[in-house]
Structure 1
Amino acid sequence: MSLLTTPAWLAAMGGKLPAPVPLRADGVEAHAFVQHEPRPTEFFDLWHVLTTTAPALPICREPIDSPPWVPALMVMVPGYECLPTGPRAGEPEALHALVSAALAYDVPTAAFLYTRPGPLEAVLHERGFTCVPLSMTWDLHLPGTGMADYLAAFPRKRRKELRREMRSVVDVHAEEPDLDELTALKCQLVTKYRGGADFTAERRKLAALAAMDSLTLVARPQDGNAVGFAMFARHDGDWTCTAVGFDYADERSRLAYFGTAFYAAAEHAYAEQARTISYGQGAWAAKRGRGCTGTPLNGWVRTRDARLAEVLRRSAATTRREVL
């Protein structure tokens, strides 16, 4: 089971997506919800996901009009992946039953968003869903047993660059999270990319994430003020980066992302014999440049609405994944 399907994660992300609805059949189930109203800028909103030019999402080469995107059944977990669970989650017959259950909902459109390559995608193709490439999710598979092995995996020139960068990072330490301090940093990041942040809501989420089996790495110069942090959740022997935040007004935060989320994280993960650190979507250049490998994520949509079906056909034909 992925961290993103655990009760602890779903509880921590409560409210991030609309209220879930049941979707299960024959030993397999999936997190789903019905979107009744447009939610522009949200990464589960079909119009936004399939037409935006945001760097982490697809680029559509043709203008798209406004057909009825909602209501629609959306199948995905908070964390932006589509991950069926259950003892038969990898069996095509059970997945066909799950897809049938999705199509049985009294809405014209069903969408499975952010699927990884595998049996679910094969079933969705067989069932006539239109596939649109969406994004990439990134994982760092740690080679060997320590940082020397991590650096050795890079070409010589890049290895020298990374060593120089690691020397320039301010001190990073594992700390018990000061939620008010970390929330202030997280709100700076949210405001930078989304235009505003709710301190109370962000603090609640960080508190729930910290209550999991977590590790918080803080970039804290000698003057004592934190300039960045990265929080990780341990699950089934692997790690997932669950939150980051930075003080953009302090120039020392410039390398804090790399120092907390990658270099210090790799050292601690090696010490705990973790093999993989998952980072999710976005910031692909930073992640690939520090050893992560990408897995493509796709959107699969089927609709009874003829206008939306035509838009989906055009989107699939004219969209390219930003990172291949």
Structure 2
Amino acid sequence: MSHFTVEKEIPADWDTVVTGPAAARSRWIRLTAERFQDEYKIFMLREEDGRCAVALGGTIVSSPSAGLDWFNPPLVLSGGVTRDGLAAGQPYAWTRRQAASAYPCLLLVYPHFASFPVGNRREDPASLRRFLTEVTAWAQVEGARSIALLFLHPVASHLMTELSSAGFAVVPLVERCDLDVTWKDFDGYLESLPKRRRGEVRRELRLLESRGITLSSRHPSGDESDLVALRCQLVEKYRGSCDPAHERSTFEQLRELVAADDITIFTATKDGRLLNFGLFVRDGDEWVAFLTGADYQSGQEGLGYFANLFYRPAALAPSLGIRTILYGPSARDAKRRRGCRVTPLFAAGKILS
């Protein structure tokens, strides 16, 4: 007989049962769980022998101001967050009035923008129904007034079927972008782009050279204060404020959870001044575009940005055995123009009676 548990820590056997996108792996949960205000938990249906049948992570979202707005389901599912194409122009799952009464909300999602079940029975309809029944019962006991899932990945198609059957509204949310590495060198990458776009990239790179911009890549060093400073400028520009200690802790966590050889930092400098950077984390044969930052005080923060985020990674990826570069949601048009394929992500929500 299977049994349901709610774990406050990531189970020791978690990575052995994770299949599918990298976002479910323990390192990504630990690196990004700070995006939530409340404690992150693992909801798990275990088989009689202890193996994981179905599991998904989640947290309680208690108010409209709790955490990042992209992870605030009542706001997202009622059209309260529409930047970067998030639910823009889509049918919304909830009205604004429903959303106002939807707190606290149990959100089932991995903090690195993905939601899908893992476990031996992740595609079994009966197990998925049992999992949803148990999660709903737990949420009601905890006083939650709604349940939602954001950034549902296509690998969660069986779960989405069961969500619809259980009374959840399932709606389009946003599109994520990934770059499949099908070339052997940078010339091959350029050939994968439309002719006009190819010419634009070449002109961009010639412009950088003419302006004395140096493009390079490296693994992390012991002191990343220059990166932290640029990261803080970017966060402050787009979020209004930044906590330098928090940004420093992100780099410290990276050093603890990821081998230095699996972290590649692409930089653009001029006369020794760092203008911007892109930081990529290797996970198997995938690269995850994880952090970026820019020196907005220089007035030249855009020089080399696309080179760091797209052109240099595209050139280096084949020699490292990288097959896919994961860019995630937001800035869809810029990513598509640089060769990314687009995958639709979905959301689901249900108001509890």
Deviates more, 1:158-167 or 1:52-61: 52-61
Give the drift of 1:225: 1.5
Residues 80-119 of structure 1 deviation map (CA, whole Å, 9 limit, x = unaligned): 2113222222333332222222212212311111102222
3-state SS of paired residue (2:83): coil
Question: Is 119-128 or 135-144 further displaced after alignment?
Answer: 119-128
Q: How does 1:88-107 map to 2 (within 5 A)?
A: 88-105=121-138, 106=140, 107=144
Give the residue type in structure 1 aligned to 2:183: G
Give the RMSD, CA atoms, in angstroms: 2.1
Secondary structure class of the residue paired with 1:226? strand
Q: Is the CA contact (8 Å cut-off) linking 1:166 and 1:263 kept in structure 2?
A: no
Percent identity reads 29
In structure 2, the residue matched to 1:73 is 106
Matching residue within 23, 27, 30 for 1:8: 27
Q: TM-score, normalised by structure 2?
A: 0.80
Q: For 1:268-307, what aligned pairs fall within 5 Å after superposition?
A: 268-305=316-353
Answer whether contact 2:177 2:343 (CA < 8 A) is retained: yes
1:161 to partner: Cα distance = 0.9
User: Deviations for 1:208-266, whole angstroms, at most 9, x for unmatched residues?
Assistant: 22441432323243421111111111112111111111112224321322111111111
8 Å contact from structure 2 (residues 275, 303) kept in 1: no
- Give the partner amino acid of 1:175: R
Alpha-carbon distance in 2 for matches of 1:210, 1:263: 25
Contact map agreement 1:232 1:242 (CA 8 A) in 2: yes
Question: Given that residues 29 and 112 in structure 2 are in contact (C-alpha distance below 8 angstroms), is that contact kept between their aligned partners in structure 1?
Answer: no
**Structure 1 runs not aligned, ≥5 long:** 306-324
Q: How does 1:229-308 map to 2 (within 5 A)?
A: 229-305=277-353
What's the TM-score, normalizing by structure 1?
0.87
1:183–1:128 CA distance, 2 compared to 1 (3 A): same
Between 20-29 and 232-241, the greater mean CA deviation after superposition: 20-29
Match of 1:20 in 2: 40
- Correspondent of 1:199 among 240, 244, 262: 244
Q: 2:295 touches 2:301 (CA, 8 Å); kept in 1? A: yes
* Structure 1 counterpart SS, 2:297: coil
Deviation at 1:206, TM superposition (A): 2.2
Cross-structure match for 1:161: 200
Counterpart mapping for 1:157-236 below 5 A: 157-169=196-208, 170-177=213-220, 178-211=223-256, 212-213=258-259, 214-236=262-284
Distance 1:216 1:185 in 2: 17
In structure 2, relative to structure 1, the CA distance for the partners of 1:272 and 1:22 (3 Å cut) is closer
Q: 1:162 to 1:93 in 2, by over 3 A?
A: farther
Native 8 Å contact 2:216 2:266 kept in 1: yes
Contact 2:31 2:253 (8 Å CA) reproduced: yes
Q: Taking CA–CA contacts closer than 8 Å with sequence separation of 6 or more, which of the two structures ends up with the larger relative contact order?
A: 1
Task: Give SS of 1:171's match.
Answer: strand
SS at match of 2:148: strand
Aligned residues, how many? 305
What CA distance in whole angstroms lies between the structure 1 residues aligned with 2:280 and 2:254?
Answer: 8
Equivalent position to 1:123, from 137, 162, 186: 162
Counterpart residue identity of residue 78, structure 1:
P
Matching residue within 35, 39, 55 for 2:84: 55
Which residue does the alignment assign to 1:133? 172
Q: Which residue does 1:145 correspond to in 2?
A: 184
Q: 2 CA distance for matches of 1:157 and 1:220?
A: 25
Instruction: Name the stretch that deviates more: 178-187 or 45-54.
Output: 45-54
Cα distance in structure 1, aligned partners of 2:42 and 2:30: 16
Q: Which shows bigger deviation, 165-174 or 121-130?
A: 165-174
Long gaps (5+) in structure 2: 1-18, 47-52
Say whether residues 1:113 and 2:150 are aligned partners.
yes
Distance verdict in 2 for CA 1:143–1:195, change over 3 Å: same
